[in-house]
Structure 1
Amino acid sequence: MSDLPRLVHETSPASSSPSDRAFSPSCPFCAITGTYPSVSPISAPDDAASKLDPEKLDPPSFVLYSSEHVVAFLDIMPLTRGHVLVAPRKHRVKVGDLSPDEGAEIGRVLPVLARSVLKAVLPDIPHEDADYNVVQNNGPGAAQVVPHVHFHIVPRPPLNYKYPTNNTPASSKKKYPRNPQPSGRQATAILFGRGMREDLDYDDASILVDAMRAALKEEWQASLPTPSGTGDTIAKEPLDRDTELSGNGGGSGRRGAWKV
């Protein structure tokens, strides 16, 4: 038997602990959020890879973002390639249980994470042409399986999509038609994030999470300029994507330990 911490199976019954409890020993997401520390999204790849090593848990957990309040990781049984879960670090059962700081950070980072996931999963499709779901459920009657708040980011690639390789010339990259508007049961399944699931391919997940971290670093640096001389452990609050970035980052000039 492995000595590594084990994740509780996804269909475990809901804990009877209070909804504002910081940690639930029976919660698989608490096992993840309690294992991985905060890591700056603009840190060196080797540093992030070491601190976010999937093998710290059994089964492995592939974390692409880990901050003071929020952790994002690959779903262990994805609906599509690149299916990511975004959850508060502390055990919160429903959205209404989130603290102001937790809710604010999720609101700030969810768009950045969505763009990063799509950039890694569909690198040859611009964000404005990409299809994806952001789904969130509260309570078993609303199809919530794990009683720990989480948002699903589910990429919806075009039919017969083929991931481009490094050897694929730009001139030969395929242009895909837009996905048709679904109808009937298919529309309902897509709307509520349902469908056939498969076990996560660990070899592919290892490659994919690295690509997601790299994409997140690019997105983060584009919207969160780091003041000069502070290294990669300092960052400012997110700027509006429509705001022109000035030399000082357009912020108040506050400096401090990295957090979102």
Structure 2
Amino acid sequence: MASHAFDPTILPPAAPCPFCNIASAYASYDPSAPPAADSPVLDPENVSPLSFIVLSTPTLLAFLDILPLSRGHLLLCPRRHASKLTDVSASEAAELGAYLRILSKALVRTTGVADWNVVQNNGAAAAQVVDHVHYHLIPRPEIRASGKLRESFTMFGRGQREELDDDEAVELAARIRQNIQLVLDEEAGKGKL
């Protein structure tokens, strides 16, 4: 992967950044050969806040949102601190775009939910809570099929949230990592015929 030169126009965060903490706590691994779920490389106890990693490249990280809008809600961000999308490098932007597509495929396979949002907010006025650029991938189960015709549709990170269950998160993250591996294998021509 590309290395990133120091950019003097991008200042480090004024306060401790939770995504920078996560990035510094987890080593990168080859997404086409992810570590086992019980590997110390993926130990969610490594960092606060608790993190359930699904992708860890030299440039990017993806992990389960700790207050998900739906089962499988992921966050994808660069390792290097950048507050807004305009602060990422061209190579980081290209890798973010490539992995948004791969994560989307893996997420649909894992959750069985065929519809999802990709949301990216820039700045407090745009509802960005963590001052580190990140994308939300949010599975959107069909509300009408559940019989909840009066339940409102939530969008752009707003809506009912419940804390992520740690045991379920370990299993879910492992399944997403496996599906990322399958997507990458298929795209490399290694898929089962």
TM-score normalised by L of structure 2 = 0.84
Displacement after TM superposition at 1:44 (Å) = 5.1
Distance in 2 (CA, whole Å) between partners of 1:194 and 1:44 is 32
Displacement after TM superposition at 1:194 (Å) = 1.2
Structure 2 unaligned residues grouped into runs of 5+: 1-7
Residue 142 of structure 1 is matched in structure 2 by 126
Superposition CA RMSD, Å: 2.8
Give me the identity figure in percent.
40
Please show how residues 1-260 of structure 1 align to structure 2 within 5 Å: 20-21=10-11, 26-43=16-33, 45-46=35-36, 49-122=39-112, 130-159=114-143, 186-187=152-153, 189-190=154-155, 192-224=156-188
Highest RCO, 1 vs 2 (Cα 8 Å, sep ≥ 6): 2
From the superposition, tell whether residues 47 and 206 of structure 1 become closer, same or farther in structure 2 (CA, over 3 Å). Answer: closer
Structure 1 unaligned residues grouped into runs of 5+: 1-17, 161-175, 227-244, 246-260
Displacement after TM superposition at 1:21 (Å) = 3.9
Displacement after TM superposition at 1:196 (Å) = 0.7
From the superposition, tell whether residues 145 and 219 of structure 1 become closer, same or farther in structure 2 (CA, over 3 Å). Answer: same
Distance in 2 (CA, whole Å) between partners of 1:136 and 1:34 is 22
Q: Is the 8 A contact 1:24 1:30 kept in 2?
A: no
Larger Rg: 1
Q: Is the 8 A contact 1:83 1:152 kept in 2?
A: yes
